Chain A
Amino acid sequence: MTASIEEQYLEAFSALAPQGDPAWLLARRRMARDIFAAAGFPHRRVEAWRYTDLRRALAKEGYVPAQRYDGPLAYDVETVGPGAAAFGDVERHMLVCVNGFFRPDLSSADLPDGVSIKPLSEAVKETGFEDFLTTDDNLHPVNALNSALMQDGLVIRVEAGKDAGKPLHMVHVTTSAGASAAHMRHVIALEEDAKLCLLETHLGQGGAGYLANHVTETHLGEGAALTHIKLQDEAKDALHVAANNLRLAANAKYYGFVLALGARLSRHETDAVFKGEGAHADMHGALALRGKQLGDISTYVDHAVPGCSSNAHVKSVLDEEATGVFQGRVLVAKDAQKTDGRQLSNALLLSRDAGMNAKPELEIYADDVQCAHGSTIGELDGTALFYLRSRGIDEATARSLLIRAFLDEVLETIPLDGVKQDIGSQIDVWFRASALAGSETR
């Protein structure tokens, strides 16, 4: 009998004899391994994953730890290739990771004072680093797996009062074909009043069928501001599971945006906890999916202290047999008065076989709060389409106009113009491919 997927992973654990890990990390890994062994991969009977059955989506066997690849890439991620062109016009620092390992040789980061970047393997040796790894493995088996097996990642720190200036652009490329798995752990720590803009791109370059598991620990000090924009364009057959654990001190500001285009199954989860008053988090996103893709954007916000606000707005465009998932929870703790929590999910179903599942939850233990959520699911407005057609616009263009207008509402919130345009053109590329596929079948 073949070993279960979970067992194969645990084998990988014993195979990866950790070298030079400090004692606390070893203990942490062991604990996380036990949590994962007990829980296994989440499936639809696990409430937080009821619409995203990861266990079913995994290949039945053969997951091996992703191998470090030191050779040249098939094409330069900075300028060529699908997705890579994104942010090409934005002046930025490049940080490239291949198959789950940081590649300083491909990166070009001439960082200003007060901004530092280290690979995880080095950072873990610093005393006190464990304080940054605040993810609770008990709550999330995939995070536990990440804690047990994490090998590399980027640790980005911005000192108090410093502004990183040009955006940092993290590019994750997977080249290994077949069922390999990379577990990366990133730490983004902004001290008081520090500022950073982080761009993230995920690409498959020759890779297929792989699992990319990213956990990002984001710590924002008092008054710090982080803009975090992610473009997920993994290989068609890949699985992408990302968890972003966000801790915000008083008056910190977070702006997050994710555009999910790729992967057979993807999940972008944000777990935000407000630690100090007056903080604000935006967790927006868009899904543009087709084929048999499943895309999941989940946001969990813990309003643990008074006077914070959060806003999650997700727009989904689903074609062919694609399925979109939005899950949101706003938890307002007792005494967290003057909270403002908002969630909105809008979905457009473009085909008969597309589907959308939304679950916006509110859990409220304080009375002086403003919380609202909304969800709509529907198709393109027939009368709007007719209006455009009557003005001489062909159907494909009319549809693309309407879809762009639908998505623009959330794209407009992106605070950087260049980035906004690039995200928009990624959607146009996606739509053109869809229109072509559509005209073929017609």
Chain B
Amino acid sequence: MAVRETVETVDEVGKYKYGFFTDIESEKAPKGLNEDTIRFISAKKDEPEWMLEWRLDAYRRWLTMQEPSWAKVNYPKIDFQDAYYYSAPKSDEDRPKSLDEVDPKLLETYEKLGIPLSEQKMLAGVAVDAVFDSVSVATTFKGKLKEAGVIFCPMSEAIRDYPDLVRKYLGSVVPVSDNFYATLNSAVFSDGSFVYIPKGVRCPMELSTYFRINEAQTGQFERTLIVADEGSYVSYLEGCTAPMRDENQVHAAVVELVALEGAEIKYSTVQNWYPGDENGKGGIYNFVTKRGDCRGADSKISWTQVETGSAVTWKYPSCILRGDNSVGEFYSIAISNNYQQVDSGTKMIHLGKNTSSRIISKGISAGKSSNTYRGLVSVHKKAEDARNFTQCDSLLVGDKCSAHTVPYIESKNPSAVLEHEATTSKISEDQLFYCMQRGLGEEEAVALLVNGFCRDVLQQLPMEFAVEAQKLVGISLEGSVG
């Protein structure tokens, strides 16, 4: 009956009832996108002239570009002029004063996910009060990082305080005119994280967007840049397992990772934006460009993602394996339910000698959703002894959903060894029967089996994430059987 409860909760949560329609009209840039909007954003953020020029350049290029249509997703045409591109963060007065004012159903879900109270407050957008001060948590946290020499701050701050670093690396992995959404992001990006790990430093803790202050309302056009200098290591967590609410329908984030010689970056994402209701109405369109550049020899970039939210997902975290002996990894779980559409995968571009990559993708589709893996493994001429292993498995729950696999495998070097395998299956009746005759409910049994199916990926997540992600996997699929 605990399961029943969860189902009900999720049903409720699925409806996303907590309306946050606070009137903050005056804080918004005028509707529409033109050069003035961009000047407005840049001015609001006190940006230097070069940044404004960078944005304007991106905007001018964006005007000449066309929205890509090759992905296996359908959504109504987006009117980019019918949207706001800047809204100031909510002031403390607009926020709920304490958790008492927050929708109890939401809190219940947080509890089920096992999110600590302090985090619940942040997630629910509760204004930080003096008694329980998460700023103080953040402050100790910041002190520790400072000691290690790690820079971890909002992008807007980095542009002001570390202009040389930002200018050197921003747009060097995802060029301004990389693709339609990335270019749009370059023109109007709101904020995001900037991380710099100095030479030889092992970042003393997992960096997480949870703890970055001034975080509110940066979701729409997030821009993240992580630079790991020679021999350094960092693990970065993005997003959270709790359902996220946001008024903006179109999201276009850009994430750039740079790993210099011997550096390692581990980037984990849990994405749980509003997926729309059970009839496919509403929901976030998530068009993300994520790319990592293993610029130095012996560097490593590892992407792990758990994608359960958004109505439309268009996301291909990639690795450019430029340095010799560099390693790229992509571990992904993409779950779609109801009318969600996911088109996600990765690109592994092998340029350097002895580079290796590993792709493990688990797609689970339920309800009437569509789930596509789209990936490229490309071995260039000089990538001697490159190695790739790809495994993409799809699991279908119910007979109204669909699962697709579109791999591109290109090799121009004979010494490279590339292996790709993919399977599509449904949950085995035998396994289900076995679990149920041991006393598990159907929902529980499905959650257990799906978790088993995803195990290879879940293991890659940092501990605290992994526990929540496992629960999330179960919750995301509830209502999909029976």
Q: Does A122 have its Cβ within 8 Å of any Cβ on chain B?
A: no
Judge whether A355 and B420 touch: CB under 8 Å. no
0 or 1 for each of B367-382: is its CB under 8 Å from A? (1 = yes): 0000000000001010
0 or 1 for each of B438-482: is its CB under 8 Å from A? (1 = yes): 000000000000000000000000000000000000000000000
Judge whether A375 and B420 touch: CB under 8 Å. yes
0 or 1 for each of A209-227: is its CB under 8 Å from B? (1 = yes): 0000000000000000000
Q: When chains A and B are docked, how far (Å) is the Cα of A436 from the Cα of B178?
A: 47
Q: Does B433 have its Cβ within 8 Å of any Cβ on chain A?
A: no
Judge whether B409 and A367 touch: CB under 8 Å. no
| A138 smallest CB distance to B (angstroms) | 18
Closest A residue, CB atoms, query B393: A372
Q: Does B419 have its Cβ within 8 Å of any Cβ on chain A?
A: yes
User: Could you say which residues of chain A place their CB within 8 Å of the CB of B422?
Assistant: 360, 362, 372-374
User: Could you say which residues of chain A place their CB within 8 Å of the CB of B410?
Assistant: 355-358
Closest A residue, CB atoms, query B424: A371
106-129 of chain B: CB within 8 A of chain A: none
Q: Does B75 have its Cβ within 8 Å of any Cβ on chain A?
A: no
Q: When chains A and B are docked, how far (Å) is the Cα of A346 from the Cα of B350?
A: 20
356-390 of chain A: CB within 8 A of chain B: 356-379
Q: When chains A and B are docked, how far (Å) is the Cα of A69 from the Cα of B409?
A: 43
Contact status of A362 and B409, CB under 8 A, knowing A368-B426, A378-B416: no
Q: Does B79 have its Cβ within 8 Å of any Cβ on chain A?
A: no
Q: When chains A and B are docked, how far (Å) is the Cα of A328 from the Cα of B414?
A: 22
Which listed segment binds A: B183-191, B252-260, B397-405?
A: B397-405
Q: Does A352 have its Cβ within 8 Å of any Cβ on chain B?
A: yes
Q: Does B425 have its Cβ within 8 Å of any Cβ on chain A?
A: yes
Q: Does A349 have its Cβ within 8 Å of any Cβ on chain B?
A: yes
Interface residue SS majority, chain A: strand
Q: When chains A and B are docked, how far (Å) is the Cα of A360 from the Cα of B373?
A: 12
State how many residues of chain A have any CB contact under 8 Å with chain B.
36
| B74 smallest CB distance to A (angstroms) | 14
Judge whether A349 and B406 touch: CB under 8 Å. no
Judge whether A362 and B405 touch: CB under 8 Å. yes
Closest A residue, CB atoms, query B372: A363
User: Could you say which residues of chain A place their CB within 8 Å of the CB of B412?
Assistant: 355
Judge whether A337 and B399 touch: CB under 8 Å. yes
Q: Does B333 have its Cβ within 8 Å of any Cβ on chain A?
A: no
Contact status of A372 and B424, CB under 8 A, knowing A337-B399, A367-B401: yes
Q: Does A335 have its Cβ within 8 Å of any Cβ on chain B?
A: yes
Q: Does B396 have its Cβ within 8 Å of any Cβ on chain A?
A: yes
Judge whether B399 and A335 touch: CB under 8 Å. yes
Q: When chains A and B are docked, how far (Å) is the Cα of A337 from the Cα of B398?
A: 12
Closest B residue, CB atoms, query A324: B411
Closest B residue, CB atoms, query A361: B406
Contact status of A379 and B415, CB under 8 A, knowing A364-B394, A373-B421, A374-B421: yes
User: Could you say which residues of chain A place their CB within 8 Å of the CB of B414?
Assistant: 349-352, 354, 378-379
Q: When chains A and B are docked, how far (Å) is the Cα of A409 from the Cα of B263?
A: 44
| B310 smallest CB distance to A (angstroms) | 21
Judge whether B413 and A362 touch: CB under 8 Å. no
Q: Which of A351, A365, A376 interacts with B418 by CB under 8 Å?
A: A376
Q: When chains A and B are docked, how far (Å) is the Cα of A3 from the Cα of B380?
A: 37
User: Could you say which residues of chain B place their CB within 8 Å of the CB of A359?
Assistant: 406-409
Judge whether B413 and A349 touch: CB under 8 Å. yes
Closest A residue, CB atoms, query B379: A377
Q: Does A47 have its Cβ within 8 Å of any Cβ on chain B?
A: yes
Judge whether B417 and A366 touch: CB under 8 Å. no
Q: Which of B404, B405, B419, B424 interacts with A369 by CB under 8 Å?
A: B424
Judge whether B409 and A358 touch: CB under 8 Å. yes
Q: When chains A and B are docked, how far (Å) is the Cα of A354 from the Cα of B421?
A: 23
A sample of 18 cross-chain residue pairs with beta-carbon separation below 8 angstroms, ordered by A number, consists of A337-B399, A354-B414, A355-B412, A357-B409, A357-B411, A358-B420, A360-B422, A361-B406, A362-B394, A364-B396, A364-B402, A373-B420, A373-B422, A374-B419, A374-B421, A374-B422, A377-B416, A377-B417
Given contacts A366-B399, A376-B419, 7 further A-B contacts (CB under 8 A): A334-B400, A360-B422, A362-B424, A367-B397, A370-B424, A374-B422, A379-B415
Chain A contacts to B: CB under 8 angstroms: 47, 334-335, 337, 347, 349-379
